[in-house]
């Protein structure tokens, strides 16, 4: 069995005739090599479109951004003076940058909460309670609306004079709601994170549900027969089976947290002052309000590097667990 | 074998398609002049506005296209604070639009970077300098003396008071800071917002909250010198005291919505329209017609920031909100120039005043006799009175970098993230870097 398996694998890789020795003469070796070459060419050609698109739309902009980050370009002038890593040193010396990093970490933590909540909701829906299809759709609505609409809706709700939450706060005597916390430098980022959790949870519900559908029911039945409680089945059967999905969601949440921009920009534009400034909004402000494209490039490259590191870490831990 | 050949062929087709699509991205579009039907299509990026203004401007665009059937204007509107970065990016890339309606400071930046076309030749060809008020042309004139932008939205900025509500409360329009504090306290006692301001964004409203007290302190001539970086400093005790009438006196009197950073400008306007607020700041003559038409029976009064102690009096601040700039890479500059010429014609000027409520600075138009509300006439009086002295918006001669910092620092000091000393010191340091 083992030999047969190896043989098949070997044949698949080398293109040797199935079941043969592969040494039946020079006249048969040439077509074999030609077939292998043809296979490789086919593979390369199939990979070429994606490679070309990635090269043009991902690699080229990243390299271009890195080049800009090494200059003092203002975004307009045709002259770009090479200044080495000066933009990076000034970025690392800027407290606004480090404050932004801290807020991004908080933002990512919030998205991990969304992953957790989304997974737990999916588990509940997986049991097919009455109306589960409706709930699944409802949870996905914020994701379908997109960050811009979500931002506008919540901004209106938080309006201090005419907003719904302010009215509730005034009626119930809750000062926190009555005076919009979005304008409070200490609370604004928390409100943004909570809004993001609300907006993102449905996405993780859908991914989790997709993963849960793939769990072999026989495993759960066997656990039940062995006397495992619901919690034990969740812990010992469901979660281990869901690990690849949880790892994927963690990775997506981390990357989403690092490149967060739209919701924040719509709700606070990084303000008041810089109280809700994230790396993404900082880069945008540097580029398009302050015309410091070199500095903006340095921030953008930092986001890219952090995203790659995060992806590598989550990818490796997932591979190990697999 | 056949299967393999098919697979290879499919892969080759995919590759060819991908390379083709990628190549198409870089090849640029063909001339959109319409060629075959002889119609030139102009792409025009404009700012959003209230519905009445949009209708008015759109009707004027229709008039232009009816008179010029060989030109089609495709207009796209963006939020005003979002438009500036979009236009900068688009002009830099050498792509559309042909024409953009941008803030004066953005127009200047684009021209100085060689991305906006000089209008000097067109100004000579069409005689714009003889047809547009000199003050308005000055906003669109670069340091090298060339005209880079043309605007028809001259404006006066200040405070708009609900006179009817003031009367009901037994109050008068405040002319001193002490009066203002008293008005604010009475308004608060009656559960009315004293001053409605929308500061959601990068803090542009602070250009006026800082600029108007300086204007009233120094008087127009010295204020313009200050705005031009020729004299004065943010840390001067008198200037600091003038600005503290906003950041300390008015704030402590409860004049502002503490959470104003969550309000956008349109919401702030809606509060005075709904009578939830007693005044709106920074009011612009461009807002007056929509506000008056929303409450035709209500009486409003347009004025400026109150007198500051030791100051020269009360003065109006004149500005040019935005202007048109032509993309230096546009292939249709002549057609755009025809459009601009139409917009500064006397006929269009009258339409802009009467339909859109713009204080169009087209010579030969009498704004006081136009068919507009009394509020509008009262608001634009400093523009039409030859003896009136007006100051200049503090942001117009400063860079985007300084203006962004001014807005954010103001938000920080208003929300007590930094002290007044830190605010003035950081502002002055950035100001010196500008010079």
pLDDT at residue A215 above 80? Answer: yes
Task: Supply the mean pLDDT for chain B.
Answer: 88
DSSP one-letter string for B8-47: HHHHHHHHHHHHHHHHHHHH-PPP-S-TTS-PEEEEEEEE
Nearest in space to A163 (alpha carbons), one of B126, B271, B135? B271
DSSP one-letter string for B187-208: HHHTT-EEEE----SS-TTHHH
Chosen for mutation from B109, B259, B270 (greatest number of chain A CBs closer than 10 Å) is B259
Average pLDDT (B153-161) is 93
Chosen for mutation from A49, A51, A292 (greatest number of chain B CBs closer than 10 Å) is A49
Q: How close B255 gets to chain A, by Cα (Å)?
A: 14
Return residues 159-198 of A near B (CB < 8 Å). 159-162, 179-180, 182-185
* HEC sequence for B280-297: EEEEEHHHHHHHHHHCCC
Any B CB within 8 A of A46 CB: yes
Out of B18, B408, B416, whose CB is closest to A48? B18
Q: What span, in angstroms and rounded, lies between the C-alpha atoms of A204 and B39?
A: 50
Residue A208 near residue A123 (C-beta atoms within 8 A): yes
Contacts of A77 in chain B (CB under 8 A): 113
Q: How close A318 gets to chain B, by Cα (Å)?
A: 32
The percentage of chain B sitting over the pLDDT mark of 70, rounded to a whole number, equals: 91
Q: Is the peptide bond before B97 cis (omega within 30 degrees of 0)?
A: yes
| Record: contact A53-B22, CB cut-off 8 A | yes
| Record: contact A42-B271, CB cut-off 8 A | no
Nearest in space to B264 (alpha carbons), one of B50, B33, B4, B10? B50
Q: Which fold has domain A89-321?
A: MetI-like fold (1.10.3720)
Strands (E), A188-274: none
Token pair listed for A67: 């080049």
Average pLDDT (B180-198) is 96
| Record: contact B85-A287, CB cut-off 8 A | yes
What was the pLDDT predicted at B76?
A: 94
Q: Is B389 helix (H, G, I), strand (E, B) or coil?
A: coil
What was the pLDDT predicted at A322?
A: 62
What was the pLDDT predicted at A162?
A: 78
DSSP secondary-structure letter at A185?
T
Structural domains of chain B in order of their starting residue, each with its CATH number: 40-154+320-384 (3.40.190.10), 156-319+390-434 (3.40.190.10)
Contacts of B4 in chain A (CB under 8 A): 35, 38-39, 42
Average pLDDT (A66-89) is 91
ipTM of predicted complex: 0.77
Nearest chain B residue to A286, by CA: B401
pLDDT at residue A291 above 80? Answer: yes
**For B133-146, how does the pLDDT look when each residue is reduced to its tens digit (9 = 90+)?**
888 898 899 989 99
How many CB atoms are closer than 10 A to CB B182?
A: 14
Out of A44, A50, A185, whose CB is closest to B417? A185
**For B228-254, how does the pLDDT look when each residue is reduced to its tens digit (9 = 90+)?**
889 999 999 999 999 999 999 999 999
pLDDT at residue B285 above 80? Answer: yes
> Quick one: pLDDT band at residue B35, thresholds 50, 70, 90?
low
Q: What span, in angstroms and rounded, lies between the C-alpha atoms of A241 and A258?
A: 28
Residue A293 near residue A287 (C-beta atoms within 8 A): yes
State how far the alpha carbon of A18 is from the alpha carbons of A23, A39, B4, in Å. Answer: 12, 16, 17
Residue B313 near residue B219 (C-beta atoms within 8 A): yes
Residue A293 near residue A73 (C-beta atoms within 8 A): yes
Q: At B249, phi and psi to the nearest 5?
A: -60, -55
> Hey, where are the domains in chain A?
2-50, 89-321
Nearest in space to B161 (alpha carbons), one of B185, B187, B199, B188? B187
| Record: contact B418-A273, CB cut-off 8 A | yes
Average pLDDT (A192-196) is 96
Out of B4, B84, B404, whose CB is closest to A285? B404
| Record: contact A272-B412, CB cut-off 8 A | yes
Q: Is B279 helix (H, G, I), strand (E, B) or coil?
A: strand
What was the pLDDT predicted at B100?
A: 97
* pTM, full prediction: 0.80
pLDDT at residue A27 above 60? Answer: no
Average pLDDT (A167-192) is 89
């Amino acid at each position: 069995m083992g030999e047969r398996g190896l043989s098949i694998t070997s044949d698949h890789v080398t293109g040797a005739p199935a079941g043969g020795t592969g040494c039946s003469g020079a006249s048969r070796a040439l077509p074999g090599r030609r077939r292998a070459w043809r296979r490789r060419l086919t593979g390369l050609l199939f990979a070429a479109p994606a490679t070309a698109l990635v090269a043009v739309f991902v690699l080229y902009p990243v390299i271009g951004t890195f080049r800009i980050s090494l200059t003092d370009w203002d975004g307009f002038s045709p002259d770009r003076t090479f200044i080495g890593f000066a933009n990076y040193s000034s970025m690392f010396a800027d407290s606004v940058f480090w404050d932004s990093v801290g807020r991004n970490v908080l933002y990512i933590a919030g998205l991990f909460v969304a992953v957790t909540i989304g997974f737990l909701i999916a588990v509940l829906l997986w049991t097919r309670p009455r109306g589960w299809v409706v709930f699944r759709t409802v949870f996905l609505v914020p994701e379908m609306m997109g960050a811009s609409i979500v931002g506008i809706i919540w901004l209106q709700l938080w309006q201090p004079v005419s907003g719904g939450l302010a009215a509730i706060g005034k009626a119930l005597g809750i000062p926190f709601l009555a005076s919009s916390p979005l304008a409070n430098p200490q609370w604004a980022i928390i409100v943004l994170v909570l809004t993001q959790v609300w907006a993102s949870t449905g996405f993780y519900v859908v991914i989790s549900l997709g993963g849960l559908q793939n769990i072999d029911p026989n495993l759960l039945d066997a656990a039940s027969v062995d006397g495992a409680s619901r919690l034990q089945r969740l812990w010992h059967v469901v979660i281990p089976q869901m690990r690849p999905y949880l790892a994927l969601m963690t990775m997506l949440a981390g990357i989403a947290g690092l490149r967060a921009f739209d919701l924040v920009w719509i709700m606070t534009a990084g303000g008041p002052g810089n109280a809700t400034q994230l790396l993404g909004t900082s880069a945008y402000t540097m580029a398009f309000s302050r015309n410091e494209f070199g500095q903006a490039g340095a921030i953008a490259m930092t986001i890219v590097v952090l995203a790659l590191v995060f992806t590598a870490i989550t990818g490796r831990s997932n591979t190990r667990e697999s | 074998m056949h299967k393999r050949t098919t697979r290879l062929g499919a892969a080759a087709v995919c590759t060819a398609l991908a390379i083709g699509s990628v190549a198409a991205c870089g090849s640029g579009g063909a001339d959109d002049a319409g060629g075959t039907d002889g119609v030139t299509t102009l792409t025009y990026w404009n700012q959003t506005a209230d519905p009445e203004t949009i209708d008015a401007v759109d009707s004027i665009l229709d008039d232009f296209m009816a008179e010029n059937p060989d030109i089609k204007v495709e207009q796209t509107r963006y939020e005003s604070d979002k438009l500036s970065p979009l236009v900068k990016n688009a002009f830099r890339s050498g792509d559309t639009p042909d024409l953009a309606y941008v803030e004066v400071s953005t127009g200047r930046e684009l021209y100085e970077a060689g991305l906006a076309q000089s209008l000097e030749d067109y100004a000579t060809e069409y005689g714009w300098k003889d047809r547009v008020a000199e003050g308005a042309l000055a906003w669109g004139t670069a340091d090298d003396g060339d005209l880079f932008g043309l605007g028809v939205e001259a404006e006066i900025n200040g405070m708009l008071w609900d006179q009817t509500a003031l009367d009901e409360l037994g109050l008068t329009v405040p002319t001193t800071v002490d009066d203002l504090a008293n008005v604010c306290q009475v308004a608060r006692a009656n559960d009315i917002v004293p001053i409605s301001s929308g500061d959601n964004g990068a803090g542009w409203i602070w250009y006026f909250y800082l600029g108007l007290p300086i204007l009233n302190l120094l008087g127009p001539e010295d204020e313009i010198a200050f705005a031009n970086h020729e004299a004065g400093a943010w840390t001067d005790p008198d200037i600091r005291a003038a600005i503290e009438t906003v950041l300390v006196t008015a704030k402590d009197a409860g004049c502002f919505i503490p959470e104003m950073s969550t309000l956008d400008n349109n919401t702030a306007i809606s509060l005075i329209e709904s009578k939830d607020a007693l005044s709106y700041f920074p009011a612009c003559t461009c807002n007056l017609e929509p506000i008056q038409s929303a409450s035709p029976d209500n009486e409003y009064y347009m004025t400026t920031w109150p007198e500051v102690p030791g100051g020269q009096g009360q003065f109006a601040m004149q500005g040019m909100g935005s202007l048109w700039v032509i993309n230096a890479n546009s292939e249709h500059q002549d057609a755009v120039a025809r459009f601009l010429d139409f917009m500064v014609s006397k006929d269009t000027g009258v339409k802009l005043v009467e339909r859109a409520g713009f204080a169009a600075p087209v010579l030969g138009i009498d704004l006081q006799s136009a068919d507009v509300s009394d509020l509008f006439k009262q608001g634009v009086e400093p523009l039409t009175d030859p003896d009136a002295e007006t100051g200049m918006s503090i942001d117009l001669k400063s860079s985007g970098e300084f203006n962004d910092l001014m807005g954010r620092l103001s938000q920080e000091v208003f929300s007590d993230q930094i002290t007044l000393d830190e605010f003035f010191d950081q502002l002055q340091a950035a100001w010196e870097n500008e010079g």
